[in-house]
Amino acid sequence: MVTQRDLKAEVTREKILEAAAEEIYRVGYQSASLCEMLKRLGISKGALYHHFASKQELGYAVLDDVLAPRAVAAWDAALSAEDPIEGICRLLDEEEQFLAGQRLACGCPINNLAQEMSPLDEGFRQRIERVYRRWHRAVQNALAGAQQRGLLRPEVDANEVAYFVIASLQGAVGLAKNSQDCGIFRSSINGLKKYLHDLKMPAT
């Protein structure tokens, strides 16, 4: 049975998760101060450590419950389109809008954690790898499907292209994050778009 108390506790847990995700996004996991985050939330340390055993477990939960679902859903949605190339291009445009909105200097939350934590903590590494693998599988499947339907050139290597697309996007986000210039993102992504369109079956 779900009581009123359980609901309130769940709300607290999710408030903590949300705030932690934001704090980690802003300054990175290692530099994210729990005290700072709690102060902003108006929640005590006791509450935090009631819901999470350690900072590490909180970090894992942020990935599992907040970042990974969002990230995976975005790609799955984009690739559900008829033409995966167009789907990916739409995703790239969405990403540009997201960055341009405000968070240009913060980059991609997943990629940030990957670069910071994967050499230091196996738990983070594995969780992030799971996300990348789902991205890759989704792209690869979509490309292979389109290829079977005759939309893509037969010599296209879906596996290879999938890795290349993901890497290029992550790289472009990283480049733009550093320069704080969305134009660089756009230029870089333009290159990717042209590449993708060249994979299509030429009109006969």
Partner DNA sequence: AAGAATACAAACCGGTCGGTCGGTTTGCAA
Partner DNA sequence: TTGCAAACCGACCGACCGGTTTGTATTCTT
33 belongs to the binding site for a second copy (CB under 8 A): no
Separation of first and last alpha carbons in the chain: 64
Q: Does residue 103 contact residue 40 with C-beta atoms inside 8 Å?
A: no
Contacts of 160 (CB under 8 A, 6+ apart): none
44 belongs to the binding site for DNA (CB under 7 A): yes
Task: Report the residue number, 94 or 160, with the smaller CB distance to a second copy.
Answer: 160
40 belongs to the binding site for DNA (CB under 7 A): no
Q: How far apart are CA 84 and CA 17, in angstroms?
A: 33
159 belongs to the binding site for a second copy (CB under 8 A): yes
Q: How far apart are CA 109 and CA 24, in angstroms?
A: 8
Q: How far apart are CA 142 and CA 79, in angstroms?
A: 6
- Give whole-number Cα distances, 7 to 3, 40, 57, in Å: 7, 22, 21
Task: Report the residue number, 14 or 181, with the smaller CB distance to DNA.
Answer: 14
- Backbone phi and psi for residue 157, each to the nearest 5 degrees, phi listed first: -95, 100
47 belongs to the binding site for DNA (CB under 7 A): yes
Q: Residue 178 binds what, of DNA, a second copy, none (CB under 5 to 8 Å, by partner type)?
A: a second copy
Among 118, 121, 141, 201, binds a second copy (CB under 8 A): 118
116 belongs to the binding site for a second copy (CB under 8 A): yes
Residue numbers of the site for a second copy (CB under 8 A)? Answer: 26-28, 30-31, 105-107, 111-112, 114-116, 118-120, 125, 128-129, 132, 157, 159-161, 163-172, 174-175, 177-180, 184, 187-188, 190-192, 195, 198
Residue numbers of the site for DNA (CB under 7 A)? Answer: 1, 3-6, 8-9, 11-13, 32-36, 42-47, 49-51, 53-56
